[in-house]
Structure 1
Amino acid sequence: MNRPLLTHILFLCCAIVIASCSSKEFDEYYARPDDLEEPIYQQLEARGNFTVLTQLIEKANYKDILGKAGYWTMIAPNDEAFERFFQEQGIANVSAIDSVLANKIVRYALIYNAFRTERLSDYQSNTGWEEDNAFRRRTAYYDGFEVKTVDGNEIVVAGSNRNNAPDGDPYIPGDNNNKYLTYFVDEYMTANGLGAFDYNYFFPGQSYTGFNVLGSSMVNADIVAENGIIHEVDEVSLPLINLDQKLETSSEYSLFRSILEDNLVNYVFDQDATTTYQNFTRNTDQVYIKVYDPALSFSPNNENYLKEADNDGQSDAYTMFVPENSVLQSFIDEVLLKNYASLDLLPKYVFEDFVNAHMVQNAVWPSLVEAYSNALEEDIRIDLSTEVNEAQVLSNGFFYGTNKVQESNLFFSVYTSAYLDPEFTLATRLYNDGSGYREIISNINSRYTLFLPSDDVLRDLGYDYNINREEWVYTNPATGNTVAGTIARSRLLRVLYNGIIPTPNDELNDLSGSGIIRSGDFDLPGEYIKWENNTVFAAGNEVLGNRVNIIGFEDQRNGRTYYIDNLLEFSEEAPGLDIMRLAEEPDSEYSNFYNYLENSLLYDPAAGSITGVELGTSYTFVVPNNAAIEQAVRDGVLPGDSTTGIPDFNPSNGGQQDQVADFIRYHILATRTASDDGLISGQIETLRRDGIGEKTYIGLITGPGELSFVDSAGRIADYIPSASNNLADRSLIHLVDNYLLYTE
């Protein structure tokens, strides 16, 4: 044998020996540990009481998946559970179950990731575990694509897997919209103030054990397998339907569903879904996503909850309160169609609001119902003890079938008078456009009087909305000048705010006498208006020489709506002109004060403007009567004859001119409008500044029928009721019996 050949043979022999040794060491190192538990399938098979389940696993083609490595939690019904299931479903035995049903049972019993009992109550947030904040887990089951008849045509449909936010996408490719499984464990229930009552509300025929999976009880928990955890239960769970599917399959709620389907659902073609479907089925059909209106709190067919975090469906779910057909029909007839001939004539926003009133973006537990608000931020007005016909845990939330409609503020308040009447669309548009007015007047817990102009009244007086340009327009009826956009909207906002009056004691239910009252909300005061002999008027009406007549009224749960033939106009003239007119009346008690004002350094007689007083800002003018002005002259506070009290209205001395200006400034209260209604009290800033430029203040004492002003020296000036409460631009002008004196 030649030497090279021998060398080669020896090398091969050595290599074989080395490889043999390495393979043995490799196998030993990576071999399955002797003490490692068997995988889920083998565990179930070996225990002997899961014979039906293992056969279904095989039919569902999950034997290989569950018989190897992985990371699952299996909620495993035992054979006794299947015996009862077969009886309930009319199934002879396991051989009668096809692969479709087998898939549903097996995949819905499979939870992604392995969870022992103590972890099931914890939420897997993006930042880590949140203890005792979870009661649901995502399963391996999802519905996928379905053929449905829509408008008489058969189409392939997939459900939204996101809520249809205005700036979002209702369908994300690759997300199968997996269904969730709900369980009830002591750790979560106790930590969240829940108990057996909450469980039995949904499962009245079952016993709460402290570890229930839907209607089943835990038999044997935390069975460890190589590829996960097994929890043995005594009942078989079929995949739960979602809220959308519940409405589709329950005829007793068909009227509610028709409101949704006819007005708030679209079927939108989706290329990604179509590609997935065609690749999977080899069919050429296009796929449409069932998309709910983005104004709704959530999409009832979305299994994913909010998806603000990947697993947020573990910690919360949706809730819908759905009225049965008979009570909903009564509501439609008596409320929604009070001023409309048919539902198809209602604006879309009415349907959005109505459905949102019955939606809660949380899982509403029965014992804690008072802690939740609906999508309109209202409390739940359904009595769960007497007004719920059925309650179900569904795959994406809780369902309550009710014998009552949620009595939303929007449908039972003074706001409703405009909202559900086609003659008042302009006012409704402004109430709804973010002005905050809707929230004020629809507050069912506070009483209001609403003065409501129709579209015809608004258009006759120059207001309209340009739909094409999406902007408000105002044309001055007297001059023909037109403004649009923000300026026009601001004018109308102010006019309509004059017609919103808090009346906790129904103060305006009788307008036959006379009086004054402040408009706007308590938290955001408006201007004062007056009533007399069944007419009402604001400062602008006095300037224009007209009044507002009542042409009808309607009582709602939180007050009264008056229908009016004119607008409560605001004044566009300077308050100095109002003081001038008061001074020009015969034997006027305002004349001495005005004469000082007219000749002062502060006043522009032509415009009626006072330096420091801005149009559109709230003020209170405190005007001493003639006798009080004369006393100020005698006291040397104002220029004139200190012996006789005869005023010098036009002093030439610069110091005296400053003295008059400071006197006037101290009698003008800035930023607040005070009346004798008790709504404002305390220290109020004046227009006067002291020697170093600091603000000065007047004290205010007020109550029903009482109004007094206290100066820095403690002197009191009481208002004279018969000559006070005079309207001006966002202001009131009062006559008082004393002058106010500022002292350092």
Structure 2
Amino acid sequence: MFTSIKRVILLVLVGSFILSGCQKDKFDEYYGRPDSLADPIYQQLVAKGNFTTLLKLIDKAAYADILSKAGYWTLFAPNDAAFQVFFQENGITNAEAVTKEMAEKIVKYALVYNAFRTDRISDYQSNIGWIPNQAYKRRTAYYDGFYKEMVNGVETVVFSSNRNNSAVGGTPYYVDGDNNNKYVPYFHQNFVTAAGLSAIDYNYFFPNEPYTGFNFIGGNVKTADIIAENGIIHEVTKVTLPLPNLDQYLAGKPQYSLFKSILDKYLVTYQVNELATRRYQILTGKTDKVYIKVYNAGLAFSPNNENFVKTTDNDGQSDGYSMFVPTNTVLQNFINTKILEHYTSLDALPQYILVDLINSHLWANTVWPTKFASALNLLEEEVRFNRTNDIVDGQILSNGLFYGTNKVQESNTFFSVYSRPYLNPNYTLMTRALNEEYKRIINNIDIKFTLFMMSDQLLRAKGFDYDPIRVEWVYTSPATGVRVAGALARARIQRILYTHIVATPNNELNNIATTTGFIRTGDRDIPGEYIKWNNNKVVAAGNEDVGTVVNITGFDNTSNGRVYYTDNLLEYSERGIGLKLAALANTIPPGQTISPFKRFFDYLNNSPLYTRATGVINGVLLGTSHTLLVPDNNAIAAAITAGLLPASTTPTTGIDVEKVSAFIRYHILVRRTVAADGNQDITSSETLHKNINDEVVTVRINNQINNLSFSGQNNNRTATVINASSNNLADRTLIHLVNNYLDYR
């Protein structure tokens, strides 16, 4: 009985083993590693036979296990011939002489996250999917991590910024968990073609290495797309240690030490970070605090940030940074002759000047050698270097391109008329006002301007100042003591400032010391007010109101025009234009017995359109542009004969009063200030007059230099400006004497 039971148990066990063996065979058949699957990266390298040195370094770096398992890598694998050249260049006898630290650098920098065949190597992995032919680098397994640096004389544990520090939107300078991995660059033909580049762009950095269509830094890809179970291998002919980033390269080149010292002293801070500190202490068991090396938030980018903008995880594949750095001698000369013209030292400079100086040499994108003309920096300026004559050092680095230069960037900020107030501590208020509105207009070296300088002393004497606590302009009337702040004060100083800016494409004001004339201020596209000059004396309408002049005391020439230093401000008028006309009507020219403006003014003075106390003409608003055409006395007489005006300047009937009003209104142009300067391409203008259908009535304009005329809507009469008695300044208005009347009928 017992024997029979054992026999049954044995049969069951044998059956179970047979059944489980069958099931395992089925499991292995379905889930097992296919025989056709390529070996992992490590085994592939062994099988190829020409990567023996790389394999030794992989073993030394403790990466053999990683590369023998499942994963998703791209390995740019230097062959044995590449290592032979590397050892000779670096005085290394063989693989055994390579330190573990160097082995880790070589292996980890050759190892790229994710597997990329050549059909994807030039594509950018965006957050919306693959974008063809927009990538030229990939993130590697290598990163610098924590390092020691002397900070204020103390050895300090430091970690680099892994973001661009920005005050805009509160962008952080450090994100915990991001190792700031370095990128490795390569040149594939698909990217080169799509970017409009050529072999010139590659050979500019690697002149001794032929461009093949798929180059890896200073070598080429000999065999591409070696398929492995855990990734892709590209055999390369160059051994590469991790490339330095822009911050590291700059630190290692004494010929650029002045540029670096400006960054280090004025635009870098070290900020203790609790998250980085905790991570460091866990990893090392040490108690040191960790400081993040942070670049000023006003800079275009942080040179120690290995990532790009990081708006998406992989944007570093498609773009990087560019830095153009003048050598010490060149930069020192520029600082001495330009930057410190009105300051005693760099310590005395406002920080914004140093930020602009550095930013003028930084581009937050990859500026390839053949693309200098199309790349714009943070100051919206193209690269103003000649790639053949002005560049003394060109490097592809882990986070961008570096160019050493034998000149400074001829930045608008330091070479235009804007630079004169900007670099002078006596003109801080003018600089602030320019920055709010008009910097972009005058800070363009391709357009010529004349700038009349407004010193802090003059502005404060006129009642202007800036309150840094309340962050607003203030104005206190010197005459009344009434104080206004904010928008009202700002509007006043901006209007005065614009009167001190003149577009002069043909250097129209360069002979101001020996000539006489008038000119419209402001930009060509934004009309300003007219000013007049006479042998180094300049006036605006407000100066004429109070009987003052602005004397020219000196000048400087810049790349886009001239600045004049003055002893007074050009002020705008706040009086109704009728008061100016009244003054003209009461001024009798030499050799005459009556003012040529008198008869017209007499009609105005008695018209219901006019308020005598203020000089305001109904419909003519202060601060708006007008042109007033005043028919001389003979023309007024002709208008009376034609029945357009009553004989009496004090009409009593409603019809005659309306005749006078219509006549006056038709001789006032609205929203335009027209002078005989030939600068305004206009052929007609609205007038203040409207017909019985309440429609605006216009006049035609023929504007040539020193020959300005107007004709009525039916072209039935033409009135020509009498230059000797015209161009009289009023509130955003010119008053012209004309030799005829205009017929509105």
TM-score (norm 1): 0.95
Mark the CA change 1:48 to 1:580 in structure 2 (over 3 Å): closer, same or farther. Answer: same
C-alpha displacement of 1:504: 2.0
CA distance, structure 2, for counterparts of residue 690 and residue 57 of structure 1: 93
Amino acid at match of 2:195: N
SS in 2 for 1:120: coil
Report the equivalent of 1:643.
Answer: none
Report the equivalent of 1:541.
Answer: 543
Report the equivalent of 1:478.
Answer: 479
Question: Structure 1 stretch 693-702 or stretch 491-500: which is displaced more?
Answer: 693-702
1:625 to 632, 640, 654: 632
C-alpha displacement of 1:6: 12
Report the equivalent of 1:25.
Answer: 26
1:387-402 aligned at under 5 Å gives the runs 387-402=390-405
C-alpha displacement of 1:301: 0.8
Report the equivalent of 1:578.
Answer: 580
Residues 711 and 742, structure 2, Cα contact 8 Å, conserved in 1? yes
Question: Structure 1 stretch 454-463 or stretch 537-546: which is displaced more?
Answer: 454-463
Report the equivalent of 2:687.
Answer: 686
Q: Does 1:34 align with 2:35?
A: yes
C-alpha displacement of 1:696: 2.7
Which structure 2 segments of 5+ residues have no match? 589-593
Q: Please, what is the CA RMSD of the aligned residues?
A: 2.1
Residues 321 and 399, structure 2, Cα contact 8 Å, conserved in 1? yes
Report the equivalent of 2:341.
Answer: 338
C-alpha displacement of 1:48: 0.8
SS in 2 for 1:553: strand
Residues 372 and 384, structure 2, Cα contact 8 Å, conserved in 1? no
1:729 to 717, 728, 731: 731
> Number of aligned pairs?
734
C-alpha displacement of 1:543: 1.0
Deviation by residue 1:4-63 (Cα, 9 ceiling, x = unmatched)? 999999999887766554443222211111111111111111111111111211222222
C-alpha displacement of 1:233: 0.6
CA distance, structure 2, for counterparts of residue 309 and residue 611 of structure 1: 61
CA distance, structure 1, for counterparts of residue 223 and residue 547 of structure 2: 86
C-alpha displacement of 1:282: 1.5
Report the equivalent of 1:644.
Answer: none
C-alpha displacement of 1:259: 0.9
SS in 2 for 1:453: coil
1:342-361 aligned at under 5 Å gives the runs 342-361=345-364
1:377 to 365, 377, 380: 380
Amino acid at match of 2:673: T
Mark the CA change 1:667 to 1:6 in structure 2 (over 3 Å): closer, same or farther. Answer: farther
C-alpha displacement of 1:94: 0.8
1:689-700 aligned at under 5 Å gives the runs 689-700=690-701
Deviation by residue 1:264-304 (Cα, 9 ceiling, x = unmatched)? 11111111211221121111111111111111111111111
Identity %: 54
CA distance, structure 2, for counterparts of residue 653 and residue 139 of structure 1: 94
CA distance, structure 1, for counterparts of residue 677 and residue 8 of structure 2: 117
Report the equivalent of 2:658.
Answer: 658
SS in 2 for 1:440: helix
Report the equivalent of 1:386.
Answer: 389
C-alpha displacement of 1:195: 1.3
CA distance, structure 2, for counterparts of residue 703 and residue 310 of structure 1: 61
CA distance, structure 2, for counterparts of residue 306 and residue 691 of structure 1: 64
CA distance, structure 2, for counterparts of residue 589 and residue 37 of structure 1: 103
Deviation by residue 1:665-706 (Cα, 9 ceiling, x = unmatched)? 222111111111112222222222333333332222112112
Amino acid at match of 1:611: N
Report the equivalent of 2:591.
Answer: none
SS in 2 for 1:202: coil
SS in 1 for 2:627: strand
C-alpha displacement of 1:630: 2.1
CA distance, structure 2, for counterparts of residue 7 and residue 48 of structure 1: 57
CA distance, structure 1, for counterparts of residue 24 and residue 577 of structure 2: 102
Q: Does 1:590 align with 2:597?
A: yes
C-alpha displacement of 1:190: 1.9
Report the equivalent of 1:156.
Answer: 157
Q: Does 1:415 align with 2:418?
A: yes
C-alpha displacement of 1:88: 0.9
Q: Does 1:462 align with 2:469?
A: no
CA distance, structure 2, for counterparts of residue 439 and residue 466 of structure 1: 24
Question: Structure 1 stretch 689-698 or stretch 308-317: which is displaced more?
Answer: 689-698
Report the equivalent of 1:636.
Answer: 643
Amino acid at match of 2:79: N
Report the equivalent of 2:498.
Answer: 497
CA distance, structure 2, for counterparts of residue 188 and residue 81 of structure 1: 25
C-alpha displacement of 1:323: 0.5
1:430-469 aligned at under 5 Å gives the runs 430-432=433-435, 434-435=436-437, 437-469=438-470
CA distance, structure 2, for counterparts of residue 445 and residue 624 of structure 1: 42
SS in 1 for 2:447: coil
Report the equivalent of 1:102.
Answer: 103
Report the equivalent of 1:609.
Answer: 616
Amino acid at match of 1:335: K
Residues 245 and 306, structure 2, Cα contact 8 Å, conserved in 1? yes
C-alpha displacement of 1:505: 2.2
Which structure 1 segments of 5+ residues have no match? 641-646
Q: Does 1:404 align with 2:416?
A: no
TM-score (norm 2): 0.95
CA distance, structure 2, for counterparts of residue 378 and residue 578 of structure 1: 45
CA distance, structure 2, for counterparts of residue 660 and residue 72 of structure 1: 90
Question: Structure 1 stretch 475-484 or stretch 12-21: which is displaced more?
Answer: 12-21
